[in-house]
Structure 1
């Protein structure tokens, strides 16, 4: 990935939102090529209106790709795809990577296009658009709102123009977390959307728990990135008071970097940058992290969860607890485990995930929360 601090592409310049604008409104778009993907009729980079955690309208960017196997452009469902963490800034937004031909998850998008689905990929709040960063990494509501509003915008694109199109959501790791948050808030934030189901793998269900797991290992930089992302999402609160002088300098530098550079440069435990060894023990951070756990409210659509039992980045036990939480809320659930690690589970689980989404898209739109889950995860502990 490239690591320049900002893109000089004027297309991504932050646009003031005019009075009377609505969420999902298209501010500008341009047609682009996506060299990694075949069978594409058209693809657009798009800047559209979404909102922040507190309802203020802001611009966001993404990309929409339409397959060429439909009888006419726009026929077929929409898949809202939530990519894994790409970085806090720089030229690493998925809409830019796809146009550059360097998007790591292009094969998963191709699976949806091969089924005749249009694919909408949100960059996320603060990524892509210049001047609004850093990206709000690990902030679930922000992420859920950006993908829901991108699917709204997709329905308004030339040749699509159909607000009754069925929609599914898919993501892995932080992307799976974002897809689930969109599903949790959809009935209140976007009840007009015909959302049919969600597939989410290796979900980051509890950011505070995740940071504790990775804090002294090769992924420690994600802890500092999460602190920056959540502080941006909750900017009305004094979130950075826990940092030392060195920590403030690190935050100023990290917010313009992609994920690869973050992991390479910031290997220290989170406490290294803070005035206390366990910054999450701070009352303000306890408040924020409690609000950022998944299962705040039940998705009113079917949910497929999957995970690798040998995942050393996001332990499978956290996803099993999430399954149990959702089951207690009466969510229609499916669960799959794979005897592999984090990266391999993304590949091994993709086919089953998209098959479940295809099934969900064929179902009658949900009217209420279902009361009985379809399957249960095993209660055994994975082999070491």
Structure 2
């Protein structure tokens, strides 16, 4: 019978992605190694992989990687770390690999600002175990990725202004990075943050999913497996799976968004779970809350745009609106932008132009508007 221990992804066989033995001696954001890549589809840019030291949810050192595209002939370009959609469990799904094979769904929008002369970075913000759903982890990795880009002298980004952007899971990583920055990376200055479609309450989403069929079940299952990877003692989800569930875990543990959505569409928790008691566990619910922006007391200091679909059932509007209102009451420079749209990814496209315009104004030094 398949082990009920967490099932981790197959490690990337490329030695560039192997952590060094002295990782614990490095500080968060320190560079481990860099390499230059062929430009491929992205003509007119220099592409680099940068490996760096970061921190996981237990406070232990990990190595992560970010990919940066720098427009040719531009000195000290503004830098945007774009947290792409990594709705996945396999290392092959990370932007460091998938940016070059079209798996990164929002790459087309992420790289648009290259035409403005900006550098664009896409970090593997779920860490080496691809801990999908581990939102706090994603915020720390995002912040450390930017610090590493500034510390690598061969990139020429040490004096660049920095902003963050992302949507959905990438919006969650960006919003967490903004809220964590004052405490986790107080030495890092952010010119602005644009985050949309934020899954801001994982407990609410899990309870809302229930045990019935849902078109996003494959991604919900992946998030459960990703959180178990990050919290193996506190969230033993595999112990709650029946034989079918363990089989489904096996066939999905290295897979990406399209596979997960396709094979999850005809399955539900009722089919895969041996028990319905997991959400009765106070520790399990505590893990979900620890990764829910709704319950994190930190407040961004950087000018932040939050855009959200008013009728989006995947990421409930009222939860995100409540967070924006709390930030505003705390004096944070927040611009909250609701879109009267129901479909989750349509809101991503609708708000992207506003996001880039917002960040461009911050790079120009214009005062940030406050709109709650």
**TM-score where L is the length of structure 1:** 0.84
Q: Which residue of structure 2 lines up, in the alignment, with residue 338 of structure 1?
A: 339
C-alpha contact (below 8 Å) 1:23/1:149 kept by paired residues? yes
C-alpha contact (below 8 Å) 1:239/1:284 kept by paired residues? no
Superposed CA offset, 1:59-109 (max 9, x none): 112201111252x3xx12221111113311141111112233553222223
5+ long unaligned stretches in structure 1: 127-131, 377-384
User: Hey, which of these two has a bigger chunk of helix by percent?
Assistant: 2
Superposed CA offset, 1:160-209 (max 9, x none): 45645321110100110100111111111111111122111111101122
Q: Which residue of structure 2 lines up, in the alignment, with residue 353 of structure 1?
A: 355
CA distance in 1, matches of 2:354, 2:106: 16
CA distance in 2, matches of 1:338, 1:358: 21
In the superposition, relative to structure 1, how do residues 189 and 364 fare at CA in structure 2: closer, same or farther (>3 Å)? Answer: farther
Q: Which residue of structure 1 lines up, in the alignment, with residue 35 of structure 2?
A: 30
In the superposition, relative to structure 1, how do residues 44 and 362 fare at CA in structure 2: closer, same or farther (>3 Å)? Answer: same
C-alpha contact (below 8 Å) 1:138/1:229 kept by paired residues? yes
In the superposition, relative to structure 1, how do residues 293 and 347 fare at CA in structure 2: closer, same or farther (>3 Å)? Answer: same
5+ long unaligned stretches in structure 2: 1-8
CA distance in 2, matches of 1:17, 1:213: 44
Residue number among 217, 240, 246 corresponding to 1:243 in the alignment: 240
Q: Shift of the alpha carbon at 1:47?
A: 1.8
Q: Shift of the alpha carbon at 1:8?
A: 3.5
**TM-score where L is the length of structure 2:** 0.86
Q: Shift of the alpha carbon at 1:310?
A: 4.1
Q: Which residue of structure 1 lines up, in the alignment, with residue 3 of structure 2?
A: none
Q: Which residue of structure 1 lines up, in the alignment, with residue 98 of structure 2?
A: 97
CA distance in 2, matches of 1:353, 1:137: 24
Q: Which residue of structure 2 lines up, in the alignment, with residue 379 of structure 1?
A: none
Q: Shift of the alpha carbon at 1:18?
A: 3.9
Q: In the alignment, is residue 233 of structure 1 matched against residue 202 of structure 2? A: no
Which deviates more, 172-181 or 262-271?
A: 262-271
In the superposition, relative to structure 1, how do residues 304 and 18 fare at CA in structure 2: closer, same or farther (>3 Å)? Answer: closer
Which deviates more, 269-278 or 16-25?
A: 269-278
Q: Which residue of structure 1 lines up, in the alignment, with residue 79 of structure 2?
A: 78
Superposed CA offset, 1:300-357 (max 9, x none): 1121111233434323333223323323333221122333322221112111101111
Which deviates more, 194-203 or 236-245?
A: 236-245
Q: RMSD value over aligned CA atoms?
A: 2.6
Residue number among 258, 269, 275 corresponding to 1:260 in the alignment: 258
Q: In the alignment, is residue 58 of structure 1 matched against residue 53 of structure 2? A: no
CA distance in 2, matches of 1:264, 1:101: 17
CA distance in 1, matches of 2:52, 2:22: 10
Q: How many residues align?
A: 357
CA distance in 2, matches of 1:258, 1:6: 15
